[in-house]
Amino acid sequence: SQQGEEDPQALSIQEGENATMNCSYKTSINNLQWYRQNSGRGLVHLILIRSNEREKHSGRLRVTLDTSKKSSSLLITASRAADTASYFCATVEYGNKLVFGAGTILRVKS
Amino acid sequence: DGGITQSPKYLFRKEGQNVTLSCEQNLNHDAMYWYRQDPGQGLRLIYYSQIVNDFQKGDIAEGYSVSREKKESFPLTVTSAQKNPTAFYLCASRLQGADYEQYFGPGTRLTVT
């Protein structure tokens, strides 16, 4: 099963610009998590937003959650070349499983 | 260092051979997971285990087997029954409960020819 669907599939921006990625999901959730994956590596947790939260910040990251629309967005401000990676959203399903979307590939050009 | 280790990083096998991928964690996490990732795609869950000596099938368990004899270890065997085993395999672990993040190993890239 694939709970989260990211949009866009790929995003190319210039260094210094902001990058916005969106995630939609199907069922009710406890929380939604965002992860980052550098090419050929494991995933790294970025931020978790609970279902009763609407916005959360961590450094240059800003995550919003709209449970009425079953959607979330990840904003990376003042992007850097080092932000080039794939970004995945994930939700927790019954059985303590995280279900990941297909991801957004972000390329930041310097 | 605390974390999850996977070995080897690259693995090559001939078709028809079983192969076992290693995953070890020293984070004292109860739950462990195996995912498969194909090029340009997301993660698909193969198997997961929430406690020692117990595990459940994920979305794509056919052709794979696991064991969980120790809390720290969750090896994955890719059997000859797996039709298309070439992929990137990721192991992960987390504490029990919905509000915990998942920690990932560096992955094993398996190529079967």
pLDDT over threshold 90, residue B47 = yes
Which of A6, A20, A7 is closest to A100 using CA atoms? A6
Q: Which residues of B touch A (CB under 8 A)?
A: 4, 31, 33, 35, 40-43, 45, 48, 50, 56, 58-59, 88, 90, 92, 94, 96-99, 101-107, 109
- Spell out the SS3 assignment of B60-112: CCCCEEECCCECCECCEEECCCCCCCCEEEEEEEECCCCCCCCEECCCEEEEE
The distance of Cα A40 from the centroid of its chain, to the nearest Å, equals 18
Structure-token pair, residue A51: 């279902």
Band (B39; pLDDT cuts 50, 70, 90)? confident
**Contacts A105 to B, Cβ<8 Å:** 40
The model's pLDDT over A7-33, given as tens digits with 9 standing for 90+, comes to 899 999 999 999 999 999 988 888 999
pLDDT over threshold 80, residue B98 = no
The model's pLDDT over B71-86, given as tens digits with 9 standing for 90+, comes to 999 999 999 999 999 9
pLDDT over threshold 50, residue A2 = no
pLDDT of residue A95: 63
CA of B32 to nearest chain A CA: how many angstroms apart?
10
* Cβ atoms of A35 and A47 closer than 8 Å: no
pLDDT above 70: percentage of residues in chain A: 95
Pairwise pLDDT comparison (B66 vs A5), residue with the higher score: B66
pLDDT over threshold 70, residue B2 = no
Between CA A19 and CA A16 the distance in angstroms is 9
CA of A17 to nearest chain B CA: how many angstroms apart?
24
The model's pLDDT over A57-105, given as tens digits with 9 standing for 90+, comes to 999 999 999 999 999 999 999 999 999 999 999 997 766 778 898 899 9
Of all residues in chain B, the one with the smallest CA distance to A97 is B48
Q: If DSSP codes are grouped into helix, strand and coil, which group holds residue A81?
A: helix
Over chain B, what is the mean pLDDT?
A: 94
Between CA B26 and CA B20 the distance in angstroms is 20
Neighbouring-strand partners of residue A98 = A92
Contacts of A44 (CB under 8 A, 6+ apart): A35, A36, A37, B104
CA of B3 to nearest chain A CA: how many angstroms apart?
12
Band (B42; pLDDT cuts 50, 70, 90)? confident
- Phi/psi at B88 (5° precision): -100, 125
The distance of Cα A56 from the centroid of its chain, to the nearest Å, equals 12
Q: What is the mean pLDDT of residues B49-71?
A: 96
pLDDT above 90: percentage of residues in chain B: 88
Between CA A53 and CA A76 the distance in angstroms is 19
Which of B85, B81, B75 is closest to B23 using CA atoms? B75
Q: What is the mean pLDDT of residues B5-20?
A: 94
* Cβ atoms of B6 and B30 closer than 8 Å: no
